Amino acid sequence: MKLWLPLLLCICVIAAAPVVSEPPAWQAGAASAKITPEKSMWMAGYASRTKPSEGVELDLFAKAFVLTDQAGARFALITLDLIGVPRNLRLAVAERVKKEHGIDPANLAINASHTHSGPELRTSNIHGSAVAVQRGKEAAEYTTKLENTLLRLIGEAIQKSVPAHLDYSTARCGVSMNRRTPDGKGGWSNFPNPNGPVDQTVPVLKASSAEGKDIAIIFGYSCHCTTLGHQKFSGDYAGYAQQEIEKAHPDAVAMFANGCSGDQNPYPRRTMELAQTHGKSLATSVQTALETHMQRLKGPIRAAYREIPLAYDTLPTREQLLEEQKSTNKYLAAHGTRLLQHIADEGPLPTSYPYPVQVLRLGNELTWVTLGGEVVIDYSLRLKRDLKDPIVWISGYTNDVMAYIPSLRIWQEGGYEGGGAMIYGTHPTRWSDKTEEHIISTVMELRKAVND
Ligand SMILES: [Zn+2]
C-alpha cells in the first residue's frame, strides 16, 4: 500500500496546479462556399482546349477569413479555387468590402490557387473567335455571381468571429519542382528540372478559439496547380489538400494561398490519383507544421498596398504587329490582331500595367508579402533574404493575376516565363528589365510604411 502513496500525491499536485491560459489576442472567423459552376463552362489555363467542361471531379470553393486585432483593425483574406483574380473583381470586391464592412482595401488580400481545372474568367474576346464571345459572356455572369458570394462570405466570417489565438509554423513538402530545363538549343523547355531553384516551405497559420476549437487553417505552397489538364472541374492538388485538412479538422476552414509558383510544377502529373496524392502530401506537411513548435502571434494588424505602373519593354510598332498577324503561329497571329484592334478602338498601346503589391503584418513577428501575377520562385527566395522580420511569407497570385512575373535572371534567360507567354494575353509585349527591382523596392518601401 505504501508504494501507491507518492503516486497519488503526484496526481494531486498536478490536478491542483492552476491552468495557465493566456487570453486570446484576436477575434477570428471563417466561412466557405461552393463556387463550382452550375452548368458546363469553358475552362481556364490551357489555350489548347477545344471544348467546354464535362462534369465535376472535385468541387471548387471560395473561402474567407477575417482577423480582428485588439484595437479593432481588421484583415480579410479570400482564397479561391480558381485560375486567377480578375482585376475588375478585386476592385469591385475591395470597394464593397470597404463600404459594407469598413475594411480598408489595403487590408484585403484575394489569392487564387491557379487551378487549371476551373472556369475561364476572362470576359474579353481573348482569342478573337466566335466561341470566345460565348466564353466571355459566361465568364461575366460567373464573376458577377462570385462577387456577391465573396461579399457574403466576408460578412459571415465577421459574424462568426470569436476570441481567438493565432499560431504559426512551417514544414516542407517535396511535390514542387522547377520546370525550366535548358532545351539544348539555347532555349528552355517546360520539363522537370531537379537542379533548378525551389522553395518547398509550407507556411501554416492556425486560428483557434479560446477553448482550442479550430477556426481556420491557412497554408501556402509555391507550386503550379497543374497536376490535371482535363475537362472536369477540380481544385487540383490544392483542392485535395484542403479537403484532407478539413477531414482531419472538421471545425476548421482550410484555405490555400498559392506562393511564387511561376516556374514550379507538381511532378509527376496528369491523373486524378496524382492530384490526390500530391494533395495528401501537402496536407501531411500542414499537419507536421501544426505539430511542430507553433509560434503564437500577438500584436496589431498593419497593412500597406500600392498599385505600381509596371513597365513593358519597348512596344511593338504597327508594322511589327502587321507582320505578327501573318505568323503561322496562330496564337502569335491572334495577339497581333488583338493589339491592332486595340490601337484602332482605344488608341496607343499602354506602356505599363497597374500591378498590385501588398505588405501585411499580423502581429509583431509575421510579415506577409502578396504580389500579383505568376511570380517566379526567385522573388520568394530573395524577399526572404532581404526582409529581416522573424517570419516572412510570400504569396503570388494575389489581388490580380495578369501574367507571368519574371525575375531579372529569368527575363535575361527568356523562355515562356521570361516573356514568351505574353502572346497569350492582351499585354502588348514582355515586361521591362526593371521589373524585379521595381517590385522589390516597392515591397521594401511598403515594409517601412508598416513599421512599428
Ligand atoms: Zn500559370
Is the same domain home to 326 and 397? no
**What distance in angstroms lies between residue 422's CA and the mean position of ligand 1's atoms?**
12
Is the same domain home to 342 and 362? no
60: cell is 471548387
Is the same domain home to 225 and 337? no
Is the same domain home to 328 and 283? no
Is the same domain home to 248 and 328? no
**What distance in angstroms lies between residue 69's CA and the mean position of ligand 1's atoms?**
35
Residue 166 inside a domain? The answer is yes
Q: How far apart are CA 200 and CA 222, in angstroms?
A: 7
248 phi and psi, to 5 degrees? -80, -25
**What distance in angstroms lies between residue 400's CA and the mean position of ligand 1's atoms?**
13
Question: According to the model, what pLDDT value does residue 47 have?
Answer: 82
Is the same domain home to 400 and 344? no
Question: According to the model, what pLDDT value does residue 123 have?
Answer: 83
Domain that holds residue 331: 316-350
Residue 71 inside a domain? The answer is yes
**What distance in angstroms lies between residue 236's CA and the mean position of ligand 1's atoms?**
13
Is the same domain home to 110 and 235? yes
Is the same domain home to 56 and 201? yes
Question: According to the model, what pLDDT value does residue 127 have?
Answer: 54
Residue 11 inside a domain? The answer is no
**What distance in angstroms lies between residue 223's CA and the mean position of ligand 1's atoms?**
9
Q: Report the SS3 class of residue 331.
A: helix
Number of domains in the chain: 2
**What distance in angstroms lies between residue 389's CA and the mean position of ligand 1's atoms?**
29
Question: According to the model, what pLDDT value does residue 14 have?
Answer: 46
Is the same domain home to 161 and 272? yes
Residue 193 inside a domain? The answer is yes
Residue 388 inside a domain? The answer is yes
pTM (whole model) above 0.85: yes
Residue 47 inside a domain? The answer is yes
8 Å CB contact between 427 and 312:
yes
In 3D, which of 197, 243, 250, 196 has the Cα closest to residue 219?
243
Is the same domain home to 293 and 411? yes
Residue 245 inside a domain? The answer is yes
**What distance in angstroms lies between residue 265's CA and the mean position of ligand 1's atoms?**
9
**What distance in angstroms lies between residue 98's CA and the mean position of ligand 1's atoms?**
30
Q: Report the SS3 class of residue 305.
A: strand
Give, rounded to a whole angstrom, the gap between the first and last alpha carbons of the chain.
61
Q: How far apart are CA 166 and CA 262, in angstroms?
A: 29
In which residue are the cell numbers 507518492 written? Answer: 6
**What distance in angstroms lies between residue 445's CA and the mean position of ligand 1's atoms?**
28
Paired sense of beta strands 108-112 and 188-193, if any: unpaired
Is the same domain home to 291 and 332? no
Please tell me what DSSP assigns to residue 191: E
Residue 17 inside a domain? The answer is no
Quickly list DSSP for 119-183.
B----S-TT-SHHHHHHHHHHHHHHHHHHHHHHHHHHHHHHT-EEEEEEEEEEE---EEEEEEE-
Is the same domain home to 261 and 291? yes
Instruction: List per-block mean pLDDT (blocks of 10 residues) for the chain, which spans 452 residues.
Output: 46 45 94 97 90 96 98 98 97 98 98 97 70 87 98 98 98 98 95 98 98 98 95 98 98 98 97 97 98 96 98 97 96 93 94 98 98 98 98 98 98 97 94 98 98 78
**What distance in angstroms lies between residue 21's CA and the mean position of ligand 1's atoms?**
45
**What distance in angstroms lies between residue 26's CA and the mean position of ligand 1's atoms?**
35
**What distance in angstroms lies between residue 401's CA and the mean position of ligand 1's atoms?**
9
Question: According to the model, what pLDDT value does residue 134 have?
Answer: 83
**What distance in angstroms lies between residue 224's CA and the mean position of ligand 1's atoms?**
6
